[in-house]
Structure 1
Amino acid sequence: MDNWDYDQLADDYGWLFGTAAIIVYLAILVIFLIAYIRIIQKAGYSGWWVLVGIVPVLNVVMFLVFAFSRWPVLRERDALRAGQGYPR
């Protein structure tokens, strides 16, 4: 009877499972990043605003600004409905 103090499978293939987990994590991160950019662009803002999410306090402030301000796409829609053409 061998005195193995560790799991042989985890020891031999642990790097493989860790690498696979990192790849899955990065794929999910890219998918969510693209989704966030598309949402911000559909609201009428630049997709670069997604970088604000990295800054700790500023991300909460900008979230509130985006939530309660009048979106550019809505201003444009209202101007078109009023027959004024595209706002400048």
Structure 2
Amino acid sequence: MFAPASGLGVFDRESGERQIALEYLAEAWNEAEEDGVQSGSLAHASLFAALATLVKMHGDEAAADLVAMLPDRIRSGEYNLDKILQ
């Protein structure tokens, strides 16, 4: 299950509205899993929806620049919900 409250560090400090949005997404995610939708399918659909929205809002280049930064952010644990921040 998707638990947005743990390990968000920078994300939840950046914007109260983003935290609220993440809570809505977590609720929808959990409901979909309860209905039998696999986590992998939810993740792929979520990434597609997020990237399509970013491209629409900011254009291809800006979205591509954001995606290009993701490997380092992922490797540093920024998206690891199991990571305990002190």
Could you say whether these structures have the same fold, taking a TM-score greater than 0.5 normalized by the shorter chain as the test?
no
**Which one has more relative contact order, counting CA pairs under 8 Å at least 6 apart?**
2
Larger Rg: 1
Question: Counting helix residues as a fraction of each chain, which structure ranks higher?
Answer: 1
Question: Which TM-score applies when normalising by structure 1?
Answer: 0.30
